[in-house]
Amino acid sequence: MRIYERIHKLTRKIAEQCRDIDEKSINKFIEMIAKSGRIFIHGAGRSGLVARAFAMRLMHLGFIVYVVGETITPAVRKGDLFITLSGSGKTLSVVTITKIAKEKGLKIVAITSHADSSLGRLADCVVRIKGRKLDNEKRDYVARQLVGEHEPVTPLGTLFELSSMVFLDTVVEEIMRRYKKSEEHMKALHSELE
């Protein structure tokens, strides 16, 4: 398969997955962001990189937002919003930090492929983005192909991470539309020390 065919197959799969996200959970997620005083965002590994990119765009929209684990992240307060990403919903560090956030009285949004996971059960709002099936994580790519399970050619959690990135960028655009934020407004808050 040529690389362009793989790109086409992957982008089709991402679009399909994003179309499957429940609209009620999307609206609840956006409303929770809009009503938040402060937002704390967390994820591990590549999901963490997606979370950081989303935090940056929320800052450009004028929200008070922090990435968990940074040296300048302040103490949380009851009522703050905590957004966390984990495809599996069982990454130990993510679940542990989310439990702490819940104990401190934060509102929790979990973006995960598994609403019934440890992470999903802690959340006030779950945005489910399909990714690789958990049983498929136990078998390698060649084994899945031999039994006819043809997922896009993406290793590990790539499908969840890419779909999450596309979804979250679309959430940014929806917030801009709903709350009349312009790109000029965002540019005014963009870092000049680059």
pLDDT per position as a tens digit, 48-93: 999 999 999 999 999 999 999 999 999 999 999 999 999 999 999 9
Is 23 noted as a catalytic residue in this protein?
no
- Asked, for residue 104, whether it belongs to a domain, the answer is yes
Q: Which residue has the higher pLDDT, 159 or 23?
A: 23
- Asked, for residue 147, whether it belongs to a domain, the answer is yes
- Asked, for residue 185, whether it belongs to a domain, the answer is no
- Asked, for residue 121, whether it belongs to a domain, the answer is yes
Domain of residue 101, CATH code: 3.40.50.10490
The pTM of this model reads 0.85
Of 151, 161, 174, 192, the catalytic one is: 161
In 10 A of CB 5, how many CB atoms? 10
The total of structural domains in the chain comes to: 1
- Asked, for residue 32, whether it belongs to a domain, the answer is yes
Where are the extended beta strands (E) located within the chain? Answer: 39-43, 65-67, 81-85, 107-112, 125-128
Give the tens place of pLDDT for each residue, 13-39: 888 889 999 999 999 999 999 999 999
Which residue range(s) make up the domain with 48? Answer: 3-180
Task: For residues 108 and 41, give the distance between their C-alpha atoms in angstroms, rounded to a whole number.
Answer: 10
* Residues of the chain above pLDDT 70, percent: 84
> Distances from the Cα of 10 to the Cαs of 16, 153, 190, in angstroms?
10, 7, 31
